[in-house]
Amino acid sequence: MTVALPPAPEFGALIPLAPAPQVLEFLALRRSTSAVTLGAPAPTLDELDALLRLATRVPDHGKLAPWRFVLLESDAKAAFAARLEALAQARGDAQAAAKLAKLKVPPLAVVVIASPKPAAIPEWEQLLSAGAVCTTLLYAALAMGYGANWITDWYSYDPEATAVLGLTPGERVAGFVLMGTPREPPLERERPTPASLVSRWEG
Ligand SMILES: Cc1cc2nc3c(=O)[nH]c(=O)nc-3n(C[C@H](O)[C@H](O)[C@H](O)COP(=O)(O)O)c2cc1C
């Protein structure tokens, strides 16, 4: 798909509010794709730029941009996965090694790192904003026609693994957003019924 985003609005520009029925239809039907079904092609560099532009346009209390991205592409992604595999093997953890397939198979991974700033805004809100970045990145990749999946897995939490990634103290992995072209379309998963989750506060 050719990237045809409108130019980024200038600061203070009037942003017209308009219904977007296509977006509603997309939200009603979108589905993540299994990471191990993702192959080439991945988003191009221009498309990746567009995806990152969209992903950083999220609610962000205090305009702190409390997140950053690490791109894992081609040989570098393979080298990163090999470092994690060596970690898993050194621990004799075959299950952890096997779980790396989700990272190895797709051609592109964008790691979203929550990087909370010292500020009056609670850290919780800064972490929620990082989740919004992951969601928006996932949805934008799907809307571009790619397959994508947001995962965390052990290497998002393991201190030795996050050190390989280059996290600094206070940072956390919000997600690995894996992207590529799915070999097969996804099947619908079970969904909750909104009514079962809702109550009305009555005092
Ligand atoms: C924070 C977070 C972490 C996740 N971590 C994993 C994971 O480690 N492994 C996995 O297979 N899926 C993981 N998932 C993905 C989900 O299990 C599943 O693919 C996704 O919810 C599919 O939903 P969708 O079709 O509505 O997009 C994670 C999802 C979220 C939001």
pLDDT in tens, 47-69: 999 999 999 999 999 999 999 99
Residues 71-78 have a mean pLDDT of 97
Res. 84 pLDDT band, cuts 50 70 90: very high
- Quick: pLDDT tens for 12-36: 999 999 999 999 999 999 999 999 9
Q: Please, what is the average pLDDT of the chain?
A: 97
- Give the distance (Å) from ligand 1 centre to CA of residue 150: 5
Please give the average per-residue pLDDT across 144-163, as a whole number: 98
Query: Is a pLDDT exceeding 90 seen at residue 100?
Result: yes
Q: Assess whether the C-beta atom of 156 lies below 6 angstroms from ligand 1.
A: no
Ligand 1 center to 203 CA (angstroms) = 36
Neighbours of 51 (CB within 10 A): 28
Residue 75 CA to ligand 1 center (angstroms) comes to 25
- Over the range 144-182, which residues count as b (16 or more CB within 10 Å of their CB) and which as e? bebbbbbbebebbebeebbeebebeeebbbbbbbbbbbb
How high is the pLDDT of residue 2? 57
Does residue 157 surpass a pLDDT of 70? yes
Give the ligand 1 atom nearest the CA of 135. 31
**Which residue CA neighbors atom 17 of ligand 1 most closely?**
151
Mean pLDDT of 84-94: 98
CA distances from 173 to 25, 166, 168, 200, 201 (A): 30, 11, 11, 35, 35
pLDDT at 5: 94
Please state which CATH number belongs to domain 33-182: 3.40.109.10
Confidence bin at 1 (pLDDT 50/70/90): low
Pick from 119, 89, 109, 90: which is nearest to 165 by CA? 109
What is the spatial distance between Cα 62 and Cα 43, in angstroms, rounded to a whole number?
31
Whether 162 lines ligand 1, by a CB cut-off of 6 Å, is no
Q: Is residue 132 predicted with pLDDT exceeding 80?
A: yes
Local confidence band at 4 (pLDDT 50, 70, 90 cut-offs): confident
Supply the pLDDT for residue 3. 67
